[in-house]
Structure 1
Amino acid sequence: MDGFEGQLVALAPRLRRHARGLTRDTALADDLVQDTLERALRYRWRFRLRPGAWWGDGADGLLPWLLTLMHRLRLNTVRRKELVVTTDTLPDVSAPVTDPGLRRDLLQALAELPETQRAVLLLVSLEQFTYAEAAHVLNVPVGTVMSRLARAREHMRALLDGTRQPAPAAEAGTTLQRVK
């Protein structure tokens, strides 16, 4: 096994953890990781670090490239199916939380986030990517990453506090009244 393949093997657990957070399903996550690694091996000639690139050298640069591949594969899958399947099973992600109830609440709250917010939250909070790195992986502007992250954190806070965010007035069927 050469250096590139060895780096792929070493990064597989991080890819699997990220995929489980994205898909909320163990089997789908394993398929996504397999497709990502397969594509990485097939297109390994495309992985080149330019001098001064933001992602560093060696394995440090390989992880963002792999996460970009994974994110795009996930988007292609969702677009093909044209629906999001929700399951009752939660991802089996190991966490340093000693309270199993809190871990369950965190996983349920994470599962309720929209996929765009969940992806940003996982990249920035779990993978410790900077906003610029997350924007590069997701192929969106840095401002979009910041706003999605703020919304995701607020949504998570509301879910964990037990309070739901109120629906906007247009969606709730109420009208605005002018008060003088």
Structure 2
Amino acid sequence: MGEPPNQPAAVPGASIRIDDPEEFAARYRQVYPQMTVIAAAIVGDRSVADDIVQEAALIAVEKRNQFTPGASFAGWLAAIVRNCALNYRRKCRRRRTFPADPAHLRDLHGGDAALPEAPLDATAVAAGAVPHEAFDDQVHAALAELSDEARCCLLLRTVQDLTYAEISQLLDIPAGTAMSHVHRARSTMRRRLADRETKSV
């Protein structure tokens, strides 16, 4: 499956006919952006994330009889994506989730804009105003210090602009936990970026 066209950030939770190829393809296209964010948050490479999501889609097709009617398709597929991403990372034996090259995650939001030379303002991170084009080396280094789940929550909130309820559904965690992850992740990144800005003065 090739990369589908950009779709609105939505996390459908209604029942679907998983055995209907057209319905499956439509739902897959709809949640594709969120799936790539989840995969990239774990492996740290957008191009690899695309491959992982496609691999997960094939697995989902093979295991479609395991889908529970009435369950969230996005949440079900997200679990498969996370497993594929974790398997890939274990296979590669990576020590860090995010590579030093910021180009790997520059287009998480589908854009090709060049990254700015100046570091991202730590205040913007803390406030949640984190445009994807503002991700630079310092931001990626700070992101690498977060746990996989916290990083997924933060990126889904700031890059995909999902609500905590939608993040909860995708990652199968309580909405309060998603909110806590985002709050702590922002605080951690603000502290890390502030420390680096101070050292660079």
Coarse TM-score class (shorter-chain normalised): 0.5 to 0.7
Which of 9, 34, 38 is residue 58 of structure 2 equivalent to?
Answer: 38
Bigger shift: 121-130 or 149-158?
A: 121-130
Structure 2 match to 1:70: 81
Contact 1:24/1:89 (<8 A) preserved: no
Given residue 159 of structure 1, which amino acid in structure 2 is its aligned partner? Answer: R
For this pair of structures, how many residues does the alignment match? 154
Q: Secondary structure at the match of 2:105?
A: coil
1:15 aligned onto 2:35:
yes
Please tell me the residue identity of whatever aligns with 1:149: V
Task: Name the SS of the counterpart of 1:41 in structure 2.
Answer: helix
Change (3 A) 1:88 1:153: same
Whether the 8 Å contact between 1:71 and 1:137 is mirrored in structure 2 is no
Deviations 1:99-155 (A, max 9, x none): 613421433332332323102212333333333443343333444323322210101
* Amino-acid identity (%): 30
Gaps of 5+ in 2: 1-20, 121-133
CA RMSD of aligned residues (A): 3.4
User: Any stretches of 5+ residues in structure 1 without a counterpart?
Assistant: 54-60, 165-180
1:32 offset after TM fit, Å?
1.9
Q: What residue in structure 2 maps to residue 100 of structure 1?
A: 116
When residues 127 and 72 of structure 1 are mapped into structure 2, their CA distance, relative to the original with a 3 A threshold, is farther
Q: Is the 8 A contact 1:17 1:93 kept in 2?
A: no
Task: Report the counterpart of residue 22 of structure 2 in structure 1.
Answer: 2
Flag the structure with larger Rg.
1
> Quick one: which amino acid aligns to residue 88 of structure 1?
A
Counterparts in 2 of 1:72 and 1:123: CA distance versus 1, 3 Å: farther
2:101 to 71, 78, 89: 89
Compute the TM-score of the two structures, normalised by the length of structure 1. Answer: 0.63
Q: Is the 8 A contact 2:153 2:182 kept in 1?
A: yes
Alignment partner, residue 184 of structure 2: 151
- Is 1:112 the counterpart of 2:145 in the alignment? yes
